[in-house]
Amino acid sequence: MAIFTDPIREHADFGPGDAEWLHLLVGDWQMVADLAFADLALWFPHPDHGYVALAHVRPSTTHTVFHGDFVGEPIRQDLQPLVDKAWSSRAIERSSETNWSTDMALRVEAVPMVRNGRTLAVVTTHMDLSSSRMPSRLELTYRQCAYDLLRMGTLGLWPDFASPTGSRRGAPRVGDGLIRLDAEGIVQYASPNGVSAFRRLGDGESLEGRSLAEVTAGLLKDRRLVDETLPLVVTGRMPWRSEIESRGVSLSLRAIPLRDEQQRFGALVLCRDVSELRRREMELVTK
């Protein structure tokens, strides 16, 4: 995803890696938008307009609240005080009043992206509250995951330069399947698509309450060659990608460790069935 870089080049007094960190954020924040069921916007200070929008992403898990393109435009006056507060406090700030956009009631949060003790930009999240139904367990879990990632952004812990870059074919997305682990690698929650993916590999039991590493080891016990990164991915210890193959099914995995100031407290593991994709790639190689 592109980022509007003119304000950064013209006005930013960035240190080594700061601009690259914001590019890394925008390259990976589709995941957060999908987890938060919200639009995200990235704001950067401007000498004449308060802030200007560097980038915007729409969620693929729900409808957008912004149908127009506002990248490169100044911030709205009603939004600027919240962004100002987040910039100075270096903490997540939530609007005290429900914001109304056309016929939608919105909840807006401002999240400072802090690196090496300096606020570099502010992300705002815009979520539609107009639905009257109770959120499902999946929605509540996804929103907690989004909050955990954004809070890591306020601590400079996410995005992580150790994460794989580039859009490799078959890279898993939130909608493909999500598993949340605790610090010991035990499954706290598995989305329906995540459960289905492991069932296709041959695991017929519930994933929750089990070690994902042990589940994976059981599926691969007869295989001699296993991706060397796999143990660190299925335990959520490193922000890497790996792949499992069993019973003719290929599963692409991506781990995102969750951390606070002291320690790693869990991880997200995204999973995607890439069997058909790998089969087509093999056909091209053998032609």
Q: Within a 10 A sphere around the Cβ of 207, how many other Cβ atoms?
A: 21
- What is the predicted pLDDT for the residue at 66? 94
Fold type of domain 174-286: Beta-Lactamase (3.30.450)
6-154 is a CATH 3.30.450.280 domain: yes
Provide the angle, in degrees to the nearest 10, between the axes of the packed helices 212-219 and 192-201. 30
Question: What's the CA gap between 248 and 178, in Å, rounded?
Answer: 21
- What is the predicted pLDDT for the residue at 125? 98
Burial class (CB in 10 A: 0-12, 13-18, 19+), 34: buried
- What is the predicted pLDDT for the residue at 45? 94
Average pLDDT, 10 consecutive residues per value, the chain (287 residues): 73 85 96 98 93 97 94 95 98 82 82 97 94 86 99 98 75 97 99 97 94 95 79 97 91 97 98 88 71
- What is the predicted pLDDT for the residue at 59? 98
Domain segments of the chain: what residues? 6-154, 174-286
Question: What's the CA gap between 173 and 175, in Å, rounded?
Answer: 6
99 vs 4, 67, 78, 126, CA distance in Å?
A: 26, 16, 9, 9
- Please determine whether the domains at 6-154 and 174-286 fall in the same fold group of CATH: yes
Closest CA to 114 of 143, 73, 152, 74: 152
